Amino acid sequence: MPIKYLQSSVAGEEWTRAKRIIFENPTTGAFTVRFAEERAVLLADGTVLSQPMGILEDSRLPEELGESFNLLNPTTGDARGAVMTYEQLHVALYSLYMATSRRAHATPQEAPYSDAEPPIDEEQPADAP
């Protein structure tokens, strides 16, 4: 057995989580949600280590968007007593995209400035610090 450099035993908790969620929204065909899973380890000192695990995929054709799934509390994992359809998920993600896009592409308002800090394009007096 090879020597393990700086080897130590550790105590902690381990769980699997979705690190990244990708929603494919094609113009035709199935809507697909991909979950990039990772294994997370919380060490006794509070350090969290993570390791990629793989991809889970869920695809739904437009005629399957009426199917539903239970909503869970992200902190406890307990059922919240409500369900969501894939169509409602699609509407929520579309709406989030549109709100984000509108904010990102909005024309910024001119910011006010004080006399002490003129904009860069304004000439400064020769004796200015």
The mean per-residue pLDDT over the stretch 62-78 comes to 94
Chain Cα centroid distance, residue 14: 21
Q: How confident is the model at residue 7 (pLDDT cuts 50, 70, 90)?
A: confident
Regarding whether 80 and 49 lie in a shared domain, the answer is no
pLDDT of residue 10: 77
Bridge partners for 83 per DSSP: 70
CB 120 within 8 A of CB 111: no
Regarding whether 17 and 54 lie in a shared domain, the answer is yes
How far is it, in rounded angstroms, from Cα 105 to Cα 108? Answer: 9
Regarding whether 79 and 49 lie in a shared domain, the answer is no
Q: How confident is the model at residue 106 (pLDDT cuts 50, 70, 90)?
A: confident
CA dihedral sign of residues 78, 79, 80, 86: positive
Measured CA angle at 98 (ends 94, 99), to 5 deg: 120
**Is residue 55 in some structural domain?**
yes
